[in-house]
Structure 1
Amino acid sequence: MEITVKNLLLTELAKRQTRNSSYSLRAFARDLNIGVTTLSDVLADKRSLSKTNLQKVMERLLVSPLEKEKLWSDYKDQASRPEVDDRTYLDEMTFRLIADWHYIAILNLAKIKDNQATPAWIAERLGIKKSEAEEALERLLSLNLVKKTRGRMTRTTTPIATSRDIPSAAIRKHHSQNLQLAEASLHRDPVHTREFGSITMPVNPEKLPQAKELLTKTRKKIADLLEDGAVTEVYTLSFQLFPITKLSDTSTSSK
């Protein structure tokens, strides 16, 4: 059998379940000291282990020096590859239907284990009107972005993404609402539950494409970190990078 993280995990899980038929994936994740979602995704080939989690797995499975060398080699090879885009891209017309912030929030509430597929529960969690929650839930169901299973919401898509660097009224609306939500959080929520920061700097405009790509990759890494383990809340991460000087060249800009 080829030496891979997945194969080692499956082999060890099978051994433990042979000794104890009630031994679960959650128990295995606990014993490995990694999130059960992470473990499930690795076994389903949806993601790779981070450097930290790989180290934990190797220590707890007592892998041999040969196996460790192979796993580290695979990790370095994986890290050097272009990132696979596993998002679901929505066209402008579809995103326009769910551009309001609470639609995306509901999609993420669906990833919380003990969620309830009821407008009352959604409204309570998001602080919106029950009628808004009802309309949004019905629309997400009709678009097949979520489904109801035993009274719970189940998300049917990978993370949602839209076009980039293309003028869009729907996307502008969504970002505008997120900025308003951020301002409300700034004045409402305890400082230990949020993080606001900024830096003002002189900028070389030619470096902006590289900076935007770096921000995109950073968002993905932070999302992977925060979604690991038992999720109970829904957060929005926003980076604000914008000019505060009047741009000297606006020939290619659009509103």
Structure 2
Amino acid sequence: MTGTYRSILIEEMRKRQRKNPAYSMRAFARDIGVSASRLSELLNSKVGLSDSRATIVADRLQLKGKEKAFFIDLVQAEHARSKLAKKAASERVKAYLLDAKKISDDDFHLISDWQNLAVLELVDIPGTPHSFSAIAKKLGISVAEAEATVARLMKVGLLKEEGGRWVVSDSDSTTTADVPSIAIQNYHRQMLERASRSLSVDPVESRDLSSVVFSLDSTQLAYAKERIREFRRVLSQELAGMPSKDKVYSLAIQLFELKGDEA
């Protein structure tokens, strides 16, 4: 489930572009009742939406009931003029997200290997051949692994077959946050190992691995984590909405206390 109203707009535009490759940002701006320049500024967080404009956009998107209220609450949580209104909207957003669909840890055990999420992204790239051999070649895995991966994704309902092609059926699912899970730990461990491999074999112009060391008030760690999550969500949604995708990447941001093994 998305965490910003901009993410909802980007995802909706992306869906329309998948149905019609000629569908442009200008067309989307027209359809939701804003100018193309305004939409560009909006998606780049340079401007926001008023309550009245949020209602108009929600209606243009044909959002109904809880979905419409959620969209407007997201806008108010960011742009409401009073702190009280912002807080109230934020609380309603949190309540809505608690009810949002999540992948259970049992299901995540089936998809905790890195290639599963990579396949979900890969089959969504326009022009990607939908065959086990093509997936295997693109991701550097065996054909047998590609077959097993697709089977797992279909078993948990994240992938379905339509007209001889695989279609992502639930792109908004998330895992639990801040809850220990062997499956989730395994996934992150694999991604760190692949980042280490990229550091050794990929040219510097095709990767970005960096770190910074700084001190902070440990009571502000929750705030730092939320800012990182928000950055990750916004960036991934923005890039996902852009055309001409051809490869699958992983973005990993690590924030942890530096201490020795005996600490």
TM-score normalised by the chain length of structure 1: 0.68
Opposite residue 244 of structure 1, the aligned amino acid is: L
Look up the SS of the partner of 1:153 in the other structure. strand
CA distance change for structure 1 residues 233 and 143 in 2, over 3 Å: closer, same or farther?
same
Opposite residue 179 of structure 1, the aligned amino acid is: L
Alignment counterpart, residue 113 of structure 2, candidates 100, 108, 133? 100
Higher helix share: 2
Q: What is the count of residue pairs matched by the alignment?
A: 205
How far does residue 78 in structure 1 lie from its aligned partner after superposition? 7.2
Alignment counterpart, residue 233 of structure 1, candidates 244, 247, 260? 247
Partner residue in 1 for 2:194: 181
Q: Are 1:29 and 2:43 matched, yes or no?
A: no
Look up the SS of the partner of 1:203 in the other structure. coil
CA distance change for structure 1 residues 55 and 242 in 2, over 3 Å: closer, same or farther?
closer
Is contact 2:160-2:169 (8 Å) kept?
A: yes
Partner residue in 2 for 1:140: 153
Equivalent positions of 1:110-125 (< 5 A) are 110-125=123-138
Gaps of 5+ in 2: 1-18, 43-49, 58-74, 80-88
CA distance change for structure 1 residues 78 and 163 in 2, over 3 Å: closer, same or farther?
closer
CA-to-aligned-CA distance 1:161-181 (integer Å, 9 cap, x gap) = 211111111111000000011
- Give the structure with higher Rg (CA): 1
Q: Are 1:54 and 2:54 matched, yes or no?
A: no
How far does residue 142 in structure 1 lie from its aligned partner after superposition? 2.1
Opposite residue 54 of structure 1, the aligned amino acid is: L
Look up the SS of the partner of 2:161 in the other structure. strand
Runs of 4+ in 1 over 3 A off after TM superposition: 24-28, 70-79, 81-88
Look up the SS of the partner of 2:225 in the other structure. helix
Look up the SS of the partner of 2:160 in the other structure. strand
Is contact 1:147-1:153 (8 Å) kept?
A: yes
Opposite residue 149 of structure 2, the aligned amino acid is: A
**Partners of 1:130 and 1:209 in 2: how far apart?**
42
How far does residue 25 in structure 1 lie from its aligned partner after superposition? 5.1
RMSD (Å) for aligned C-alpha atoms: 3.7
CA-to-aligned-CA distance 1:73-111 (integer Å, 9 cap, x gap) = 989757436467597511111101110000111111121
Alignment counterpart, residue 202 of structure 1, candidates 215, 219, 233? 215
Gaps of 5+ in 1: 1-23, 58-67, 251-255
Alignment counterpart, residue 169 of structure 1, candidates 176, 179, 182? 182
**Partners of 1:207 and 1:181 in 2: how far apart?**
30
CA distance change for structure 1 residues 191 and 72 in 2, over 3 Å: closer, same or farther?
farther
Is contact 2:158-2:171 (8 Å) kept?
A: no
Identity between Structure 1 and Structure 2 (%):
27
Is contact 1:111-1:155 (8 Å) kept?
A: yes
TM-score normalised by the chain length of structure 2: 0.66
Is contact 2:119-2:135 (8 Å) kept?
A: yes
**Partners of 1:171 and 1:161 in 2: how far apart?**
11
